[in-house]
Amino acid sequence: MPSLTSRTPGPAPSGAGATDAAPARPGRDPYFDNAKYLAIVLVAMGHSWEPLPDSGRVIETFYTFVYAFHMPVFIMIAGYFSRGFDLRRERVWKLVTSLIVPYAVFEVAYTLFERLTGAPGFPLSPLTPYWLLWFLPALFLWRLTTPVWQTVRWPVAVSLVIAAMGAVSSNIGGDLQLQRVLQFLPFYVLGLQLRPAHFDFVRRRAVRLASVPVCVVALAAAYWAVPRTTTSWFFRRYGAEQLGSPAWTGAVVTLLLFGCAVVLSACFLAWVPSRRMWMTALGAGTLYGYLLHGFVVKGAIRLDLFEADLVATPLGRILVTVVAAAVVTLLCSPPARRVFRFVVEPRLDWARKPAPAG
Protein backbone atom coordinates (compact mmCIF):
# COMPACT_ATOMS: atom_id res chain seq x y z
CA MET A 1 0.00 0.00 0.00
CA PRO A 2 1.06 3.60 -0.43
CA SER A 3 4.17 4.74 1.35
CA LEU A 4 4.18 2.01 3.95
CA THR A 5 7.89 1.53 4.25
CA SER A 6 8.82 -1.56 6.21
CA ARG A 7 12.16 -0.34 7.38
CA THR A 8 12.32 -0.57 11.12
CA PRO A 9 11.61 2.95 12.38
CA GLY A 10 13.93 4.82 14.64
CA PRO A 11 12.93 6.30 17.98
CA ALA A 12 9.71 8.25 17.97
CA PRO A 13 9.90 12.00 18.30
CA SER A 14 10.00 13.28 21.83
CA GLY A 15 7.05 15.12 23.27
CA ALA A 16 3.56 14.46 24.55
CA GLY A 17 2.22 11.08 23.58
CA ALA A 18 5.64 9.74 22.50
CA THR A 19 7.72 7.13 24.21
CA ASP A 20 11.16 5.81 23.47
CA ALA A 21 11.14 3.15 20.79
CA ALA A 22 13.38 0.13 20.68
CA PRO A 23 16.75 0.65 18.99
CA ALA A 24 16.38 0.61 15.24
CA ARG A 25 17.55 -2.40 13.30
CA PRO A 26 18.98 -1.88 9.82
CA GLY A 27 17.09 -2.94 6.71
CA ARG A 28 13.48 -3.93 6.13
CA ASP A 29 11.59 -5.90 8.73
CA PRO A 30 10.14 -9.01 7.01
CA TYR A 31 7.25 -9.13 9.49
CA PHE A 32 5.72 -5.91 8.15
CA ASP A 33 6.35 -6.81 4.52
CA ASN A 34 4.59 -10.13 5.13
CA ALA A 35 1.70 -8.32 6.84
CA LYS A 36 1.31 -5.88 3.97
CA TYR A 37 1.31 -8.64 1.37
CA LEU A 38 -1.31 -10.70 3.20
CA ALA A 39 -3.45 -7.60 3.72
CA ILE A 40 -3.31 -6.61 0.04
CA VAL A 41 -4.42 -10.13 -0.87
CA LEU A 42 -7.46 -9.63 1.38
CA VAL A 43 -8.15 -6.30 -0.35
CA ALA A 44 -8.06 -7.90 -3.79
CA MET A 45 -10.24 -10.80 -2.67
CA GLY A 46 -12.80 -8.40 -1.21
CA HIS A 47 -12.90 -6.38 -4.43
CA SER A 48 -13.40 -9.58 -6.44
CA TRP A 49 -16.39 -10.54 -4.27
CA GLU A 50 -18.17 -7.21 -4.75
CA PRO A 51 -19.31 -7.81 -8.37
CA LEU A 52 -20.53 -11.38 -7.75
CA PRO A 53 -24.24 -11.56 -8.58
CA ASP A 54 -26.30 -13.12 -5.77
CA SER A 55 -23.08 -13.91 -3.94
CA GLY A 56 -24.91 -15.71 -1.15
CA ARG A 57 -24.74 -15.50 2.59
CA VAL A 58 -21.43 -17.33 2.97
CA ILE A 59 -19.54 -14.97 0.67
CA GLU A 60 -21.26 -12.00 2.30
CA THR A 61 -20.14 -13.31 5.69
CA PHE A 62 -16.50 -13.49 4.64
CA TYR A 63 -16.83 -10.11 2.92
CA THR A 64 -18.15 -8.55 6.14
CA PHE A 65 -15.45 -10.24 8.23
CA VAL A 66 -12.61 -9.09 5.96
CA TYR A 67 -13.91 -5.54 5.59
CA ALA A 68 -14.10 -5.19 9.36
CA PHE A 69 -10.30 -5.01 9.61
CA HIS A 70 -8.37 -5.14 6.33
CA MET A 71 -8.17 -1.37 5.76
CA PRO A 72 -7.80 -0.54 9.48
CA VAL A 73 -4.75 -2.79 9.76
CA PHE A 74 -3.17 -1.14 6.71
CA ILE A 75 -3.83 2.29 8.13
CA MET A 76 -2.42 1.37 11.55
CA ILE A 77 0.78 0.13 9.92
CA ALA A 78 0.94 3.38 7.94
CA GLY A 79 0.63 5.32 11.18
CA TYR A 80 3.28 3.19 12.87
CA PHE A 81 5.81 3.99 10.16
CA SER A 82 4.85 7.68 10.20
CA ARG A 83 5.94 8.28 13.80
CA GLY A 84 9.02 10.18 12.74
CA PHE A 85 7.27 12.29 10.11
CA ASP A 86 7.78 16.05 10.27
CA LEU A 87 7.41 18.92 7.83
CA ARG A 88 10.99 19.04 6.64
CA ARG A 89 11.43 19.74 2.92
CA GLU A 90 12.57 16.26 1.96
CA ARG A 91 9.67 14.58 3.74
CA VAL A 92 7.07 16.87 2.23
CA TRP A 93 8.58 16.27 -1.21
CA LYS A 94 8.41 12.53 -0.61
CA LEU A 95 4.71 12.89 0.16
CA VAL A 96 4.20 14.67 -3.15
CA THR A 97 6.06 12.12 -5.27
CA SER A 98 4.77 9.00 -3.51
CA LEU A 99 1.12 10.01 -3.00
CA ILE A 100 -0.01 13.10 -4.91
CA VAL A 101 1.69 12.34 -8.23
CA PRO A 102 0.51 8.69 -8.39
CA TYR A 103 -2.96 9.88 -7.41
CA ALA A 104 -3.07 12.34 -10.28
CA VAL A 105 -1.64 9.83 -12.77
CA PHE A 106 -4.06 7.06 -11.84
CA GLU A 107 -7.07 9.38 -11.69
CA VAL A 108 -6.38 10.16 -15.34
CA ALA A 109 -5.62 6.51 -16.17
CA TYR A 110 -8.82 5.17 -14.61
CA THR A 111 -10.89 7.93 -16.22
CA LEU A 112 -9.50 7.01 -19.65
CA PHE A 113 -10.11 3.34 -18.87
CA GLU A 114 -13.77 4.04 -18.08
CA ARG A 115 -14.22 6.15 -21.20
CA LEU A 116 -12.66 3.50 -23.44
CA THR A 117 -14.61 0.60 -21.97
CA GLY A 118 -18.19 1.72 -22.14
CA ALA A 119 -18.60 5.02 -20.27
CA PRO A 120 -17.52 7.74 -22.76
CA GLY A 121 -18.94 10.50 -20.55
CA PHE A 122 -17.12 9.42 -17.40
CA PRO A 123 -15.93 12.67 -15.73
CA LEU A 124 -12.39 13.50 -14.69
CA SER A 125 -12.82 14.95 -11.21
CA PRO A 126 -9.59 15.22 -9.22
CA LEU A 127 -11.49 16.10 -6.03
CA THR A 128 -13.63 12.97 -6.28
CA PRO A 129 -11.24 10.02 -5.98
CA TYR A 130 -11.97 7.08 -8.23
CA TRP A 131 -13.03 4.00 -6.26
CA LEU A 132 -9.84 2.68 -4.57
CA LEU A 133 -7.77 5.85 -5.08
CA TRP A 134 -9.28 7.56 -2.02
CA PHE A 135 -6.52 6.12 0.16
CA LEU A 136 -3.77 8.23 -1.45
CA PRO A 137 -5.12 11.70 -0.59
CA ALA A 138 -6.32 10.34 2.76
CA LEU A 139 -2.82 9.20 3.72
CA PHE A 140 -1.44 12.51 2.48
CA LEU A 141 -3.78 14.44 4.80
CA TRP A 142 -3.19 12.11 7.75
CA ARG A 143 0.57 12.45 7.43
CA LEU A 144 0.35 16.21 7.34
CA THR A 145 -1.47 16.13 10.68
CA THR A 146 1.13 13.87 12.34
CA PRO A 147 2.80 16.69 14.33
CA VAL A 148 -0.59 17.55 15.81
CA TRP A 149 -1.17 14.01 17.11
CA GLN A 150 2.30 13.92 18.58
CA THR A 151 1.36 16.97 20.65
CA VAL A 152 -2.20 16.20 21.78
CA ARG A 153 -2.44 14.58 25.23
CA TRP A 154 -5.10 11.97 24.36
CA PRO A 155 -4.67 11.58 20.60
CA VAL A 156 -6.69 8.39 20.04
CA ALA A 157 -9.64 9.67 22.10
CA VAL A 158 -9.63 13.00 20.27
CA SER A 159 -9.48 11.27 16.88
CA LEU A 160 -12.40 9.03 17.87
CA VAL A 161 -14.46 12.11 18.73
CA ILE A 162 -13.66 13.54 15.29
CA ALA A 163 -14.57 10.23 13.61
CA ALA A 164 -17.83 10.03 15.56
CA MET A 165 -18.72 13.59 14.55
CA GLY A 166 -18.11 12.60 10.95
CA ALA A 167 -20.38 9.56 11.25
CA VAL A 168 -23.11 11.61 12.90
CA SER A 169 -23.03 14.30 10.21
CA SER A 170 -24.46 13.70 6.74
CA ASN A 171 -23.50 17.13 5.41
CA ILE A 172 -19.82 16.46 4.71
CA GLY A 173 -19.17 16.88 1.01
CA GLY A 174 -17.67 14.28 -1.27
CA ASP A 175 -14.46 16.21 -1.98
CA LEU A 176 -11.49 13.88 -1.43
CA GLN A 177 -13.97 11.58 0.34
CA LEU A 178 -13.49 13.51 3.58
CA GLN A 179 -16.04 11.30 5.31
CA ARG A 180 -13.60 8.40 4.98
CA VAL A 181 -10.65 10.58 5.95
CA LEU A 182 -12.38 11.47 9.21
CA GLN A 183 -13.84 8.06 10.05
CA PHE A 184 -10.63 6.12 9.37
CA LEU A 185 -8.48 8.71 11.16
CA PRO A 186 -8.41 6.90 14.57
CA PHE A 187 -6.60 3.93 13.06
CA TYR A 188 -3.81 6.15 11.75
CA VAL A 189 -3.55 7.94 15.11
CA LEU A 190 -3.49 4.60 16.94
CA GLY A 191 -0.66 3.49 14.67
CA LEU A 192 1.31 6.56 15.70
CA GLN A 193 1.06 5.41 19.33
CA LEU A 194 2.15 1.83 18.68
CA ARG A 195 5.64 0.67 19.61
CA PRO A 196 7.61 -2.49 18.75
CA ALA A 197 6.56 -3.99 22.08
CA HIS A 198 2.93 -3.96 20.97
CA PHE A 199 3.71 -6.05 17.90
CA ASP A 200 5.85 -8.37 20.01
CA PHE A 201 2.87 -8.84 22.31
CA VAL A 202 0.39 -9.84 19.60
CA ARG A 203 2.89 -12.39 18.27
CA ARG A 204 2.94 -14.30 21.55
CA ARG A 205 1.72 -17.87 21.41
CA ALA A 206 -1.08 -17.18 23.89
CA VAL A 207 -2.44 -14.34 21.76
CA ARG A 208 -2.19 -16.49 18.64
CA LEU A 209 -4.21 -19.27 20.26
CA ALA A 210 -6.78 -16.84 21.66
CA SER A 211 -7.24 -15.32 18.21
CA VAL A 212 -8.78 -18.53 16.85
CA PRO A 213 -11.98 -18.52 18.95
CA VAL A 214 -12.18 -14.74 18.56
CA CYS A 215 -12.25 -15.08 14.77
CA VAL A 216 -14.79 -17.90 14.98
CA VAL A 217 -17.08 -15.68 17.05
CA ALA A 218 -16.50 -12.79 14.62
CA LEU A 219 -17.46 -14.98 11.65
CA ALA A 220 -20.58 -16.15 13.47
CA ALA A 221 -21.48 -12.55 14.24
CA ALA A 222 -20.93 -11.59 10.60
CA TYR A 223 -23.15 -14.47 9.47
CA TRP A 224 -25.88 -13.26 11.81
CA ALA A 225 -25.49 -9.62 10.74
CA VAL A 226 -25.53 -10.13 6.96
CA PRO A 227 -29.32 -10.10 6.47
CA ARG A 228 -29.86 -7.56 9.25
CA THR A 229 -27.54 -4.68 8.38
CA THR A 230 -25.54 -3.18 5.53
CA THR A 231 -21.83 -3.53 4.87
CA SER A 232 -21.78 0.13 3.87
CA TRP A 233 -20.93 0.93 7.50
CA PHE A 234 -17.49 -0.59 6.90
CA PHE A 235 -16.78 1.72 3.96
CA ARG A 236 -16.96 4.82 6.21
CA ARG A 237 -18.27 6.79 3.24
CA TYR A 238 -21.57 7.88 4.72
CA GLY A 239 -23.14 9.43 7.76
CA ALA A 240 -25.63 7.43 9.80
CA GLU A 241 -28.70 9.17 8.34
CA GLN A 242 -27.52 8.38 4.82
CA LEU A 243 -27.61 4.71 5.84
CA GLY A 244 -31.14 4.97 7.14
CA SER A 245 -30.29 5.20 10.85
CA PRO A 246 -30.72 7.97 13.43
CA ALA A 247 -27.79 10.39 13.53
CA TRP A 248 -26.77 9.41 17.08
CA THR A 249 -26.12 5.82 16.00
CA GLY A 250 -23.13 7.07 14.00
CA ALA A 251 -21.19 7.71 17.21
CA VAL A 252 -22.11 4.32 18.68
CA VAL A 253 -21.21 2.43 15.50
CA THR A 254 -17.92 4.34 15.24
CA LEU A 255 -16.81 3.11 18.67
CA LEU A 256 -18.12 -0.40 18.03
CA LEU A 257 -16.39 -0.78 14.66
CA PHE A 258 -13.18 0.70 16.05
CA GLY A 259 -13.08 -1.88 18.84
CA CYS A 260 -13.89 -4.75 16.47
CA ALA A 261 -11.28 -3.61 13.96
CA VAL A 262 -8.53 -3.33 16.58
CA VAL A 263 -9.28 -6.79 17.97
CA LEU A 264 -9.44 -8.44 14.55
CA SER A 265 -6.31 -6.60 13.39
CA ALA A 266 -4.48 -8.01 16.41
CA CYS A 267 -5.74 -11.49 15.48
CA PHE A 268 -4.52 -11.00 11.92
CA LEU A 269 -1.11 -9.69 13.00
CA ALA A 270 -0.72 -12.57 15.46
CA TRP A 271 -0.53 -15.03 12.57
CA VAL A 272 1.73 -13.01 10.26
CA PRO A 273 5.08 -14.84 9.87
CA SER A 274 8.07 -13.01 11.32
CA ARG A 275 10.73 -14.70 9.19
CA ARG A 276 11.76 -13.91 5.64
CA MET A 277 9.64 -15.91 3.20
CA TRP A 278 8.64 -15.99 -0.47
CA MET A 279 6.00 -13.34 0.23
CA THR A 280 8.41 -10.90 1.90
CA ALA A 281 9.69 -9.39 -1.35
CA LEU A 282 6.09 -8.97 -2.51
CA GLY A 283 5.28 -6.88 0.56
CA ALA A 284 7.56 -4.13 -0.77
CA GLY A 285 5.34 -3.81 -3.86
CA THR A 286 1.86 -3.59 -2.36
CA LEU A 287 1.37 -0.06 -3.72
CA TYR A 288 1.64 -1.53 -7.22
CA GLY A 289 -0.84 -4.28 -6.47
CA TYR A 290 -3.24 -1.82 -4.90
CA LEU A 291 -3.22 0.71 -7.74
CA LEU A 292 -3.17 -1.78 -10.63
CA HIS A 293 -5.56 -4.55 -9.60
CA GLY A 294 -8.52 -2.21 -10.06
CA PHE A 295 -7.99 -2.38 -13.84
CA VAL A 296 -8.30 -6.17 -13.71
CA VAL A 297 -11.46 -6.13 -11.58
CA LYS A 298 -13.15 -3.42 -13.62
CA GLY A 299 -12.03 -5.09 -16.86
CA ALA A 300 -13.59 -8.37 -15.76
CA ILE A 301 -16.83 -6.51 -15.03
CA ARG A 302 -16.81 -4.89 -18.47
CA LEU A 303 -16.29 -8.31 -20.09
CA ASP A 304 -19.17 -9.80 -18.05
CA LEU A 305 -16.85 -12.45 -16.63
CA PHE A 306 -18.67 -12.29 -13.31
CA GLU A 307 -21.89 -13.25 -15.13
CA ALA A 308 -20.48 -16.56 -16.37
CA ASP A 309 -22.39 -19.67 -15.30
CA LEU A 310 -19.29 -21.12 -13.63
CA VAL A 311 -18.96 -18.10 -11.34
CA ALA A 312 -22.43 -18.77 -9.94
CA THR A 313 -21.29 -22.13 -8.54
CA PRO A 314 -19.37 -22.70 -5.28
CA LEU A 315 -16.36 -23.83 -7.31
CA GLY A 316 -16.60 -20.65 -9.38
CA ARG A 317 -16.61 -18.48 -6.25
CA ILE A 318 -13.47 -20.23 -5.04
CA LEU A 319 -11.89 -19.78 -8.48
CA VAL A 320 -12.62 -16.05 -8.46
CA THR A 321 -11.00 -15.75 -5.02
CA VAL A 322 -7.89 -17.67 -6.06
CA VAL A 323 -7.52 -15.70 -9.29
CA ALA A 324 -7.81 -12.40 -7.38
CA ALA A 325 -5.04 -13.48 -4.99
CA ALA A 326 -2.86 -14.63 -7.90
CA VAL A 327 -3.37 -11.42 -9.89
CA VAL A 328 -2.49 -9.09 -7.03
CA THR A 329 0.52 -11.29 -6.22
CA LEU A 330 1.74 -10.91 -9.79
CA LEU A 331 1.23 -7.14 -9.67
CA CYS A 332 3.33 -6.91 -6.48
CA SER A 333 6.19 -8.90 -8.00
CA PRO A 334 9.57 -7.36 -8.89
CA PRO A 335 9.01 -7.68 -12.69
CA ALA A 336 5.73 -5.75 -12.45
CA ARG A 337 7.39 -3.13 -10.30
CA ARG A 338 10.15 -2.64 -12.86
CA VAL A 339 7.59 -2.15 -15.64
CA PHE A 340 5.34 0.29 -13.78
CA ARG A 341 7.84 2.10 -11.57
CA PHE A 342 7.84 5.17 -13.83
CA VAL A 343 4.18 5.89 -12.95
CA VAL A 344 3.93 4.46 -9.43
CA GLU A 345 7.24 5.75 -8.05
CA PRO A 346 8.32 8.48 -10.47
CA ARG A 347 11.68 10.17 -10.11
CA LEU A 348 10.95 13.88 -10.21
CA ASP A 349 14.21 15.41 -9.06
CA TRP A 350 14.05 17.80 -11.99
CA ALA A 351 10.85 19.33 -10.58
CA ARG A 352 12.18 19.87 -7.07
CA LYS A 353 13.13 23.36 -6.00
CA PRO A 354 16.76 23.53 -4.82
CA ALA A 355 17.30 23.91 -1.10
CA PRO A 356 18.20 27.41 0.08
CA ALA A 357 21.93 27.99 0.45
CA GLY A 358 23.14 27.49 3.99
pLDDT tens-digit profile of 99-146?
999 999 999 999 999 999 988 999 998 889 999 999 999 999 999 999
pLDDT band at 50 (very low <50, low <70, confident <90, very high): very high
**Residue 84 reports pLDDT greater than 80:** yes
pLDDT band at 348 (very low <50, low <70, confident <90, very high): confident
**Residue 11 reports pLDDT greater than 80:** no
What is d(CA 151, CA 154) in angstroms, rounded to the nearest whole number?
A: 9
**Residue 13 reports pLDDT greater than 70:** no
User: Mean pLDDT, to the nearest integer, of 21-37?
Assistant: 73
Nearest residue to 6 (alpha-carbon basis) of 39, 36, 28: 28
pLDDT for 10 equals 42
**Residue 320 reports pLDDT greater than 90:** yes
CA 92 to centroid of chain Cα atoms: 21
User: Mean pLDDT, to the nearest integer, of 47-71?
Assistant: 91
pLDDT for 3 equals 42
How far apart are the two ends of the chain, measured CA to CA in Å? Answer: 36
pLDDT band at 27 (very low <50, low <70, confident <90, very high): low
The amino acid occupying position 249 is T
**Residue 2 reports pLDDT greater than 50:** no
**Residue 18 reports pLDDT greater than 60:** no
How many CB atoms lie under 10 A from the CB of residue 81? 21
pLDDT for 43 equals 95
Q: State the chain's mean pLDDT as an integer.
A: 89
Helices marked H in the chain — which ranges? 30-49, 56-67, 70-80, 89-95, 101-116, 135-144, 146-149, 155-168, 178-193, 196-202, 205-225, 232-235, 249-270, 280-283, 286-302, 314-332, 334-344
Helix or strand holding residue 170 (H, E): none
**Residue 247 reports pLDDT greater than 90:** yes
pLDDT tens profile 267-307: 999 999 999 999 999 999 999 999 999 999 999 999 999 99
* 190 contacts 259 by C-beta, under 8 angstroms: no
pLDDT for 77 equals 95
The amino acid occupying position 138 is A
**Residue 65 reports pLDDT greater than 50:** yes
pLDDT band at 349 (very low <50, low <70, confident <90, very high): confident
